[in-house]
Amino acid sequence: MKFKTHRKCGDCTACCDGRLSTTIFGYKSVGRPCHYLKEGEGCSIYKHRPKDPCKVFECGWLKDKHFKYPEFLKPNISGLLLMDWKKTKSGIPYIIAVANKNQKYNNDAVFWLLNYCNDNDLNIEFILQGVKYYIGSKEFKKYFKK
Ligand code: SF4
Ligand code: SF4
């Protein structure tokens, strides 16, 4: 039997805080929160937010329908925004886990992901405090060593 999750963003705003490169109604946000994000309140134009990326973006945790990622990996709990699957230009698949430079992330979540990727032979890129770490196969690490 397949179990389905019904995950919701709720009060999470991790994908609006500058970790994604977005331009919303002419306002660019790379490394800083979206112009329309109000601290403690969320999106100030929620009803009128654009379709792409606001309505269509789903982080790895949200779109995980089969409990691959536990609840504590929700971005506003773990501090890590997950994006899967990404591919290098040469076709190597990998997960990205990115923390907000100005917020703490949960070390247990990092260790959980390390174990998960190790157990399943997966590649992962961590971006923690602006520093990138590549963990996985030799070919994956070599690709980013250039
Ligand atoms: S990071 Fe994921 S859970 Fe959080 S608001 Fe964005 S899509 Fe929703
Ligand atoms: S417009 Fe709203 S939903 Fe879209 S990125 Fe900005 S704060 Fe997030």
138 Cα: distance to centroid of ligand 1 (angstroms): 31
Q: 12: Cβ below 6 Å to ligand 1?
A: yes
Ligand nearest to the CA of 28: 2
10 Cα: distance to centroid of ligand 1 (angstroms): 8
Mean pLDDT, residues 100-124 taken together: 96
pLDDT of residue 5: 62
pLDDT of residue 4: 58
Contact 27, 71 (CB under 8 A): no
Please determine, for residue 10, whether its predicted confidence score (pLDDT) is greater than 90. Answer: yes
Tokens standing for 73? 């990996």
pLDDT of residue 145: 87
Q: pTM for this one?
A: 0.91
Ligand nearest to the CA of 7: 1
pLDDT of residue 67: 80
Cα angle 33-72-41, degrees, rounded to a multiple of 5 = 35
> pLDDT of 29-44, one tens digit each?
888 999 999 988 999 9
Cα separation, 31 vs 14, whole angstroms: 12
Mean pLDDT, residues 6-25 taken together: 93
How distant, in Å, are the alpha carbons of 50, 55, 75, 80, 85 from that of 60? 21, 15, 9, 10, 8
pLDDT band for position 103 (cuts 50, 70, 90):
confident
- What are the domain boundaries of the chain? 12-56, 58-146
Cα separation, 52 vs 39, whole angstroms: 22
Q: 83: Cβ below 6 Å to ligand 1?
A: no
Q: 110: Cβ below 6 Å to ligand 1?
A: no
pLDDT band for position 142 (cuts 50, 70, 90):
very high
> pLDDT of 43-102, one tens digit each?
999 999 999 999 999 999 999 988 899 999 999 999 999 999 999 999 999 999 999 988
Ligand nearest to the CA of 81: 1
pLDDT of residue 74: 98
Cα separation, 6 vs 98, whole angstroms: 23
